[in-house]
Structure 1
């Protein structure tokens, strides 16, 4: 297999040509696999920067800490800073731009190294204002440069033996559950985290979402789960209990739709 046909070889060439990268690691499959790639393909100690905020799931932070400790990474935990930005808090259609601008500014304030993200080829097909913020900060995307999409990254994670990472569902920040135009509030994000934790406990891991909309709370599940009447009854009861305890209204339980809280016409 030539380097052109081998994703690992392409990624190795990119990482070895740019030693000492500052890796922005969220705790998802992409950025964690990138950090392991730096160690396993390029033979370098990963320099990992992980941001914490009300929008970052605590389990993602725990996962980053666990991998860093187990594999000897150089980990710096920083405050993301976006909750001090009124442009972010008003939740416009380009909210991610303000989130990533704050993130990369905080990382740049802690290091002079080139910042690298776990963005991949599949991300380029979506509306990703965060990529504009990355461009403004000269952030590089090794997976994009190596021509790798999500499926190839998952295969690489499996090849690295990352059993707790390779099948992780998509994990966008908790603010992605707030309908565009509704303000981002820390108590809303904490509520979303509680409900989604309950959904995972009852239904198992998967693409489960708790959305906060102008009408109320919408629960989204993997479509096949909606055929299990007994499970839906349990999920409905638990979601109703959690909503009631938080003075919220459960409006619907339906199929998972990626990015359904994002309203393009706002």
Structure 2
């Protein structure tokens, strides 16, 4: 079944003949970039959008991964932080982020002669609250993984089978996802969260989030790692570092890390919006 989906993806890109990939460096868009390059060679181009909501380390990873694949890689700037519809952090914040992204990528693709802009949306994403998907669709973007029905688990399986060393890379959505809806997003807040997560990763904790609410940082780790974290980590060192970053209070979420946790406050009416 997975082999069949892989062949469908290759055929899809061969039919496109040329494609520009919205490439964040995450495992999904990197798999798309790999398959596109293998099918199209120099007729595929990966483009990474840089803004304050992207960790600098993620940009470096994207560069390394693109170079490993061999695909051409271009970096552009996006300016969603200039849009109050985005910085006010409404429940459909991602719609305005992806609008900015694809309003940047589509003209670039046309200018460079690429008829298609494709992204890394997978089949599982279609079942979550992802208003950004609507913005991409409105601007004509295609989602090969979703079109073929490739799930997140299958993304990792395919990446591993293709020999991509980052097949098990933790998901890393934009830093704006660390804030509860309704709390204004600023560059300073994004940088504060980013520095905190980098600090913890350098200590060896990889699959994590630092959620920010006002002056409070809430650390989320995999539930099975919480005990080890409390027993083996210099907690005061972490508190001091986080306070240096600008937080006042530092807490640990006892439930543990769960993707999309901040969406649990949304009511069913919002979550049932058809994208």
What TM-score, normalized by structure 1, do the two folds share?
0.91
- 2:177 paired with 1:192: no
Alignment of 1:131-146 (within 5 A): 131-146=133-148
In 2: Cα distance, 1:178 partner to 1:120 partner: 24
The equivalent residue for 2:217 is 217
Q: Tell me, which stretches of 5 or more residues in structure 2 are unaligned?
A: 271-275
In 2: Cα distance, 1:135 partner to 1:247 partner: 38
Q: Is the 8 A contact 1:19 1:44 kept in 2?
A: no
Runs of 4+ in 1 over 6 A off after TM superposition: none
In 2: Cα distance, 1:257 partner to 1:178 partner: 14
Measured against aligned partners, the alpha-carbon deviations of 1:24-79 in whole angstroms (never above 9, x if no partner) come to: 00110000011001122x14232111000110111221122123334432222111
The equivalent residue for 1:179 is 180
In 1: Cα distance, 2:156 partner to 2:94 partner: 24
Task: Please state how far the C-alpha of 1:159 moved relative to its aligned partner.
Answer: 1.3
Task: Please state how far the C-alpha of 1:250 moved relative to its aligned partner.
Answer: 2.3
In 2: Cα distance, 1:238 partner to 1:171 partner: 25
Task: Please state how far the C-alpha of 1:237 moved relative to its aligned partner.
Answer: 2.1
The equivalent residue for 2:123 is 121
The structure carrying a bigger helix percent of its residues is 2
Q: Is the 8 A contact 1:50 1:76 kept in 2?
A: yes
User: How many residues are matched?
Assistant: 259
In 2: Cα distance, 1:145 partner to 1:79 partner: 28
The equivalent residue for 1:78 is 76
Q: Tell me, which stretches of 5 or more residues in structure 1 are unaligned?
A: none
- 2:45 paired with 1:56: no
Task: Please state how far the C-alpha of 1:203 moved relative to its aligned partner.
Answer: 3.5
In 2: Cα distance, 1:27 partner to 1:131 partner: 18
